Amino acid sequence: MLKCVKQTFPLSTSTLANGLRVAINHDPWVPGVAVNLWYDVGSSDEQRGRTGFAHLFEHLMFSGSANVANGEFDTIMQQVGGHSNASTNFDCTNYYEVVPASAVELALWLEADRLSTLLERVDQTNLDTQRDVVKEEKRQSHDNVPYGDAFEHLLALTFPADHPYAHLPIGSMADLDDATLDDVHQFFRRYYRPDNLIVSLAGAIEPDRGLELVNHYLGEVAMAPTNPRPTVAALPAMTALSRQEVVASVPQDVIYLTWRIPPISDPGNDALNIWLSVISGSMTSRLTEGLVRTNLADSVDCYDLGLNRGNSVVVATAACVEGVSPEQLEEAMSSLWEQAINQGPTAVELDRAKRLEDLQYLSDCASTRSRAEHIGAAWALFNDADEINHHLDDIHALTTDAVAQAASQWLRPEQRAVLTYRRSA
Partner 1 sequence: MRPRPDITAPLSWQFPTPQQSTLSSGIEVWHYRLPGQYVVTARLIIELPLSVEQPQLEGISSLTARCLAEGTIDHPGLSFASAIENLGAQATGAAGNSTVQVTLEAPVTSFGQALPLLAEMTMSPALADDDTDRLKVSRLAEIGQQESHGPYLASTALRQCLLGADSRLTRPAGGLSASVAALSGTEVRDFHQRHYGPRDAILVIAGDLEHDQVEAYAQASLGSWKSATSAISPAPVRPGPGRRAIIDRPGAVQADLAFGWFGIDQADRRWAALQVACTIVGGSFTSRINHRLREELGYTYGVSLEAMPFRQGGLIYLTAATRTEVALAAVAEIMDLLALKQAFTADEVSQAINYMRRSAPLLFDTAESVAGQAASLAAGRLPIDQVSRYLEELANVSAAQAMDAFTSLVTPASASIIAVAEAGGLGASETTAPWLQVPVAPLA
Interface residues for partner 1 in 103-132 (CB under 8 A)?
103, 105-106, 109, 112-113, 116-117, 128-132
Residue 419 within binding range of partner 1, rule CB under 8 A: no
Query: Segment contacting partner 1 (CB under 8 A): 133-141, 255-263, 335-343, 403-411?
Result: 133-141
- Taking CB under 8 A as the binding criterion, the range among 181-189, 300-308, 354-362, 381-389 that sits at the site for partner 1 is 354-362
The reply to whether 409 sits near partner 1 by the rule CB under 8 A is no
Written as one string, the DSSP assignment of 233-250 is PPPPPP-S--EEEEEES-
14 within 8 A of 22, measured Cβ to Cβ: yes
Q: Which 268-297 residues touch partner 1, going by CB under 8 A?
A: 282-284, 289, 292-293, 295
- List Cα–Cα distances, 25 to 12, 67, 340, in angstroms: 7, 29, 40
Give the pairing of strands 12-15 and 254-261. unpaired
- Stretch 306-345: interaction string toward partner 1, x if CB under 8 A: -------------x-xx-----------------------
* Cα–Cα distance for residue pair 170/208, rounded to 1 Å: 39
Rounded least distance, CB 158 to partner 1, Å: 25
Examine residue 352 and tell whether it contacts partner 1 (CB under 8 A): yes
Angle at 322 between CA 290 and CA 325, to 5 degrees: 70
Site residue total, partner 1 (CB under 8 A): 83
Considering the complex, state which of residue 28 and residue 160 has its C-beta at the smaller distance from partner 1. Answer: 28
Among 10, 17, 143, 212, binds partner 1 (CB under 8 A): 143
- Please state, in angstroms and rounded to a whole number, the distance separating the CA atoms of residues 418 and 425: 22
Q: By CB under 8 A, is residue 368 in contact with partner 1?
A: yes
Question: Coil, strand, or helix at residue 201?
Answer: strand
Q: Give me the least distance between CB of 146 and partner 1, in Å please.
A: 5
**Stretch 47-66 residues interacting with partner 1 (CB under 8 A):** 66
Under the binding rule (CB under 8 A), the answer on residue 140 touching partner 1 is yes
> Cα(139)–Cα(154) distance, rounded to whole angstroms?
19
What are the E-state strand segments in 297-346? 297-304, 312-320
Three-state DSSP class for 15? strand
Q: Taking the complex as a whole, how short is the minimal distance between the CB of residue 355 and partner 1, in angstroms?
A: 3
**Of 43-51, 154-162, 303-311, 347-355: span binding partner 1 (CB under 8 A):** 347-355
* 34 or 156: CB nearest partner 1: 34
Residues 150-179 that bind partner 1 (CB under 8 A): none
> Which amino acid, 397?
A
What gap in Å lies between CA 232 and CA 165, rounded to an integer?
A: 10
Name the minimum Å distance from CB 356 to partner 1: 6
With binding defined as CB under 8 A, does residue 301 bind partner 1?
no
- Residue 70 binding partner 1, by CB under 8 A: yes
CB of residue 325 to partner 1, shortest distance in Å: 15
Rounded to whole angstroms, how far apart are CA atoms 389 and 370?
14
CA pair distance 136, 164, nearest whole angstrom? 24
Do the bridges between strand 12-15 and strand 83-88 make them parallel or antiparallel, or are there none, so unpaired?
Answer: unpaired
Q: Which helix (H) or strand (E) holds 417?
A: strand 417-423
Report how far residue 191's alpha carbon sits from residue 45's, in angstroms, rounded to the nearest whole number. Answer: 10
Stretch that binds partner 1, among 164-172, 301-309, 357-365, 396-404 (CB under 8 A): 357-365
Within residues 3-22, the interface with partner 1 by CB under 8 A covers: 3-5, 7
Residue 135 binds partner 1 (CB under 8 A): yes
Q: How far is the CB of 233 from partner 1 (least distance, A)?
A: 36
> What is the rounded radius of gyration, in angstroms, for the C-alpha atoms of the chain?
23
